[in-house]
Structure 1
């Protein structure tokens, strides 16, 4: 076939198609135990994390991780590791086939010694001990879990019973018990993975609560300061007071936006994690048992209020930002009006000064014409009187009477022309400077 006839694929087509099959379920035989860890990881430290895990795998005679890998499965005899990298966290799930069934007596730190031999990739956040047992070896749930928070439900058409209290035990793990009564290995694998994801994303979703608790005092202070500023806005009169108040509003807006920008990712991520938790609950298909608290009811009673607190603070930030913007806009309008009034007064003062200057100029021009005309006529008088002495018929006084008006007119025209030319040249220089600026 002519290579020119091949279809040119999109640059991301292979990655998109592989993503659908990136994290398939694995069959899990009963009994089994899964020890699941989740660590927050930073982008700059992820290469070091992958290298540390790759070195651990090679040291235990297993294959190294591929470059740029985001998920990997490796086996160490009867122990299997599933490693996954997500947007802001990394998970390690250790799967032990046919593990000890006595969950109350097992030492969790002894179950996952491999995890403690690997360099910790980041702050530890999630630790889950998921035990899958047969009905004949199922322990008493009331001795294993706290009665006040015990949740028990069934799944897989009643063939699987799931129990947990969502509490951390003495070893730092949240325990989940699955009693399998005939569910195939592949279905148990899917159920186990969804349960692990449910608990992982539940914890991740609640990361926004400490952030909201840290931000709430600052938001409350900004709200009170905004109330004081809007009240003061109605009382300020001078331009300086309005400008000082405007500066305070700008500082408040900057503080609010800094906090909102800092919490933007956390609140958005928690909202996404909450949706994933609800999706996992729906996918598992929990069925209630008589006189037992259900998973959705427990999460709605404990988790929903915490998330609502965070989302309520986020909404307060948005509304407060809008109010600050409106208050700033109103105050800017008030400052602009005051500045326009001030500019108007300045222009009126300048106009009055210009009128006075024009009158002064006209007076000076009149005096200048009179003075120059007087001296010119006096000079001409000497000349005409001299002519009168040389000629008997020449009348000097009559000549003076005729020449004086002409001299005054010529002097007036000359002085007015020169003054106006000087003013025009000055205006042209000012205009040229403005254009240059």
Structure 2
């Protein structure tokens, strides 16, 4: 029974997901061949410039110009094969000279067939650049070793037999007089596709090795500052542990300054350290895929990387972990400082409230005193008014004893004024309680 797939709900990225696993195929390399690999750090602005530069290569070689950029571009121009792969932060260029003969190694390279002056116009920052000389192996291993030594400028060799002795690989992992690194691959009995996969792994090992080491200068740069901040933090923490009489606000300002510097270092280095860990894992994976055997007592590539690259990566990881540890310790110390400041503020507030309570009691006592005085004052004025009224009535011809009436009125007035003031006082207290 046939199924009409177009009637189903197809994910819009389905085709892209299928094509992703085939977007970077291994090369197929003949023996002999000359290969040059370059890894160039690229900004988003430079990506377009590099694509236009690639278009210019097609024009110089008289070939149709590509209109759209792809993640992995590969084109063969006669005996020259050009491959360009875009990665997260760099672009890799692989130039293969398919017309190379059995002449002197490294006299011809992968870039020998490029138009003059084209490569010099490439934008970006070159991190990795090395040549691979691929040639058939002879039966005389010792003779091959003597032959190899002549073309690595006396540098110490690293060599192995990958893929269970199917080839012999030599290199130095150093720069030579032409500014390029060098590898020599002697093919014992590998097919062209197997040789392409082996060469790809070697190029990725060298490229990812150098990319992983980009974090090492950063780690070395910030280590002295970390030592200084670690010492300052230890002094502050010890002062807090000893419960010394310190200026909390000053210490909190110091902690804030250290924390801001730590965050600046983290912002500057987090991506680089994370990238180093990722590149290092890729290197280890490619080394496992080589399946190396020792060759003539020399260090294998895996041994060399384990001895030289791994400590550098561990240094970067240690600095990264130290940054995170310092950040956590500063957070804890800052929290302790803030707690001390808050406790001090609460103690001050408690003292202030106690002082306000004492003052309010004093004010209340003073208020009662003033109220008593106000009773006398109000009564005095009322008696005065009453005396004027009594004088007026007496002068009007009504006979009575003014002294007796005034004497009786004085205590009555005092009592009425006192009760009135008390009534007003209690009324305000009830209003305050309701609110």
TM-score normalised per structure 1: 0.89
Within 2, Cα distance between the matches of 1:111 and 1:281? Answer: 29
The answer to whether residue 220 in structure 2 is matched with residue 213 in structure 1 is yes
Within 1, Cα distance between the matches of 2:43 and 2:433? Answer: 66
Aligned length: 426
Q: Which residue of 1 aligns with 2:13?
A: 12
Displacement after TM superposition at 1:111 (Å): 2.1
Call closer, same or farther: CA 1:110–1:331 in 2, change over 3 Å.
Answer: closer
Q: Give the secondary structure class of the aligned counterpart of 1:149.
A: coil
Q: Give the secondary structure class of the aligned counterpart of 1:106.
A: coil
Within 2, Cα distance between the matches of 1:179 and 1:5? Answer: 51
Displacement after TM superposition at 1:407 (Å): 2.2
Residues 201 and 274 of structure 1 are in contact (CA less than 8 Å); yes or no, is this contact kept in structure 2?
yes
Q: Which residue of 1 aligns with 2:160?
A: 153
Displacement after TM superposition at 1:402 (Å): 4.4
Matches within 5 A, 1:278-427: 278-384=284-390, 387=393, 390-392=397-399, 394-416=400-422
Q: Which residue of 1 aligns with 2:258?
A: 252
Within 1, Cα distance between the matches of 2:245 and 2:251? Answer: 11
Instruction: State the Cα deviation string for residues 47-84 of structure 1 (Å, max 9, x = none).
Output: 12212212322332223334242221112221010011
Displacement after TM superposition at 1:207 (Å): 0.8
Q: Give the secondary structure class of the aligned counterpart of 1:37.
A: strand
The answer to whether residue 251 in structure 2 is matched with residue 237 in structure 1 is no
Q: Which residue of 2 aligns with 1:277?
A: 283
Residues 249 and 328 of structure 1 are in contact (CA less than 8 Å); yes or no, is this contact kept in structure 2?
yes
Q: Give the secondary structure class of the aligned counterpart of 2:279.
A: helix
The answer to whether residue 90 in structure 2 is matched with residue 89 in structure 1 is yes
Q: Give the secondary structure class of the aligned counterpart of 1:225.
A: helix
Within 2, Cα distance between the matches of 1:147 and 1:60? Answer: 38
Within 2, Cα distance between the matches of 1:28 and 1:70? Answer: 21
Within 2, Cα distance between the matches of 1:79 and 1:157? Answer: 31
Matches within 5 A, 1:113-132: 113-114=114-115, 116-118=117-119, 119-132=121-134
The answer to whether residue 62 in structure 2 is matched with residue 61 in structure 1 is yes
Instruction: State the Cα deviation string for residues 19-45 of structure 1 (Å, max 9, x = none).
Output: 100011121110001011110001222
Within 1, Cα distance between the matches of 2:290 and 2:116? Answer: 28
Answer with 131-140 or 150-159: which moved more.
131-140
Residues 215 and 272 of structure 2 are in contact (CA less than 8 Å); yes or no, is this contact kept in structure 1?
yes
Call closer, same or farther: CA 1:374–1:275 in 2, change over 3 Å.
Answer: same
Displacement after TM superposition at 1:174 (Å): 1.4
Within 1, Cα distance between the matches of 2:77 and 2:433? Answer: 92
Runs of 5+ unmatched residues, structure 1: 432-437
Answer with 266-275 or 108-117: which moved more.
108-117
TM-score normalised per structure 2: 0.89
Q: Give the secondary structure class of the aligned counterpart of 1:45.
A: helix
Q: Which residue of 2 aligns with 1:267?
A: 273
Call closer, same or farther: CA 1:412–1:66 in 2, change over 3 Å.
Answer: farther
The answer to whether residue 56 in structure 2 is matched with residue 50 in structure 1 is no
RMSD: 2.9
Within 1, Cα distance between the matches of 2:276 and 2:270? Answer: 10
Residues 62 and 74 of structure 1 are in contact (CA less than 8 Å); yes or no, is this contact kept in structure 2?
no
Q: Which residue of 1 aligns with 2:23?
A: 22
Residues 43 and 89 of structure 2 are in contact (CA less than 8 Å); yes or no, is this contact kept in structure 1?
yes
Displacement after TM superposition at 1:108 (Å): 4.8
Displacement after TM superposition at 1:314 (Å): 0.9
Within 2, Cα distance between the matches of 1:5 and 1:170? Answer: 60
Q: Which residue of 2 aligns with 1:434?
A: none
Q: Give the secondary structure class of the aligned counterpart of 1:300.
A: helix
Q: Give the secondary structure class of the aligned counterpart of 2:165.
A: coil
Within 1, Cα distance between the matches of 2:302 and 2:6? Answer: 55
Q: Which among 185, 202, 206 is matched to residue 209 of structure 2?
A: 202
Residues 81 and 95 of structure 1 are in contact (CA less than 8 Å); yes or no, is this contact kept in structure 2?
yes
Answer with 268-277 or 343-352: which moved more.
343-352
Q: Which residue of 2 aligns with 1:435?
A: none
Residues 36 and 129 of structure 2 are in contact (CA less than 8 Å); yes or no, is this contact kept in structure 1?
yes
Within 1, Cα distance between the matches of 2:132 and 2:46? Answer: 29
Residues 65 and 72 of structure 1 are in contact (CA less than 8 Å); yes or no, is this contact kept in structure 2?
no
Residues 26 and 197 of structure 2 are in contact (CA less than 8 Å); yes or no, is this contact kept in structure 1?
yes
The answer to whether residue 49 in structure 2 is matched with residue 75 in structure 1 is no
Instruction: State the Cα deviation string for residues 138-165 of structure 1 (Å, max 9, x = none).
Output: 5712223367732221123322111111
Residues 45 and 121 of structure 1 are in contact (CA less than 8 Å); yes or no, is this contact kept in structure 2?
yes
Displacement after TM superposition at 1:113 (Å): 3.9
Displacement after TM superposition at 1:96 (Å): 0.8
Residues 50 and 65 of structure 1 are in contact (CA less than 8 Å); yes or no, is this contact kept in structure 2?
no
Within 1, Cα distance between the matches of 2:110 and 2:257? Answer: 51
